[in-house]
Amino acid sequence: MKVSSLLLGASLIANAALVACLVLGVSNPSPVISSRTAATGATGAAATAAAGSPTAETWTALHSEDLTVQRDRLIAEGFPPAMIRAILAAQIREGFAARRKAFDTARGEIPFWKTVAPDPQAQAAMRAIAKEEQKALTDLLGPDPENGSAATLQRQLPNLPADKIAQLAAIRDDYGQRRSDIYANQGPGGTASPADRDKLAALDKAMHAEIAATLTPQELEDYDLRTSNTANQLRYSLTAFDATEQEFRTLFQLQQAFNDRIGTQYGGPLSQDEMKARSDAQKQLNDDIKAAFGDARYAEYQRANDYNFRQTSQLVARLQLPPETTNEIYALQQDIQQRARTIQTNRALTQDDRTQQLAALVDEVRTKLTPGLGESGFEAYKQYGGSWLQNLQPRPLPAAGVRPAIPGGGP
């Protein structure tokens, strides 16, 4: 009998297992009820299952309120590990259902046009329940070998020994929970207070120190290059820049030095001193990258970090056009923008002349890009990479000697 047939005839718990079965692509596994089950007193259920007509007794033959016994029976019957985890996770979650429902009931019926401010105590209780559920499952089956934090780290750091992977996973999980507690206690709007930002920065520093104490210097370098926020942000910003490994390592070192200089930001406004420090550090970072890459390669790096260029690059890939199309479009953008600035700053033009000339530039862009992108592709470009076209709108120039008014400001 197929596993899917058994599960279709069982309870909600069995439905969860069916989902796991389908995800895993298991279409015709070995019979669920074997002679081992029959030998333990489930002969009737086994016979029914073998006949292809599953009943409640079929599941009863395997089910147990003792989850340890339940686990052992499923293992003995040859269920795949992922399916066993899905079944037991459903049973554990069901065991906490009453506690979760109590909080939902306490909230009462909320009119659809209203919202209720989050209750910090209820949120904390729900997080505690989720943590208990996860601990119960981990105690029963151990860490998830496919989706747990250790499994993720092992994929990122394939050469790191399993014992160190386990240590790193424990450290990251611990500090992850501490961060969650800080975020959960933030005020309305989820804005971190200065005190919270200091706590989060301190947690980052302490976690990295623990990880550094666990790894060798070379292992730590590999860890940072593959898992750190700096590396992840750098990879995203380089999606349109075909960096070599050495270029990535160079950029990482420079970016990490920049981050260490300005500190990690967790939201909230910057003071004037902080903004100046960030501006000075950014200029130094740009100078360092230029010195490392040279003028030509640095120009490519700057272009690749332009938001519109990245968006255009992604659109060109989706349209399956040659990669050099991105450079051609960007070159057109630079030319049109330069010409637009000349028009917008030309005081000899009337407002009508300025409007007509800027509109002509937009028409020129459409005429030059539509043959390659197609009509629908050009419309997509205006949203993904071509947002600069919105700036080709006429803006009235202030009269000579008159300062433009500052909204909300004084005279």
Threshold 0.75, pTM exceeds: no
Q: Is 215 left (phi over 0), alpha (psi -120 to 50) or beta?
A: beta
What confidence tier does 156 reach under pLDDT thresholds 50, 70, 90? very high
Sign of CA dihedral 336, 338, 343, 345: positive
User: What is the model's pLDDT at position 3?
Assistant: 43
- Rounded distance, CA 78 to CA 174, Å? 34
pLDDT tens sequence across 162-188: 999 999 999 999 999 899 888 877 655
pLDDT confidence of 231, banded at 50, 70, 90? very high
pLDDT score for 186: 67
The Cα angle at residue 305 between residues 300 and 310, in degrees rounded to 5 = 100
Tokens of 291: 């010195």
Q: What is the average per-residue pLDDT within 250-278?
A: 81
Asked whether residue 30 carries a pLDDT value surpassing 70, the answer given is no
Rounded to the nearest 10 degrees, how much is the dihedral formed by the CA atoms of 111, 114, 119, 124?
Answer: 80
Rounded Cα gap, residues 310 and 303, in angstroms: 9
CB 73 within 8 Å of CB 64: yes
Give the model's pLDDT for residue 205. Answer: 92
Q: If you search the block for the tokens 């260029």, which residue do you land on?
A: 309
Q: Return the pLDDT at 267.
A: 55
Cα R_g (the chain), whole angstroms? 30
Q: ∠ at Cα 154 (153, 156), nearest 5°?
A: 60
Segment 72-99 mean pLDDT:
90
pLDDT band of residue 360 (cuts 50, 70, 90) is: very high
Closest CA to 291 of 242, 241, 237, 254: 254
Residue 129 and residue 125: Cα distance in Å, rounded?
Answer: 6
Predicted pLDDT at 2: 39
Q: How far apart are CA 81 and CA 96, in angstroms?
A: 23
Tokens of 96: 């906490």
CA distance 152 to 147: 7
The label of the residue with tokens 């014992």 reads: 163
Helices (H), 216-350: 217-227, 229-237, 245-262, 272-293, 295-304, 307-318, 324-344
More confident position, 234 or 24: 234
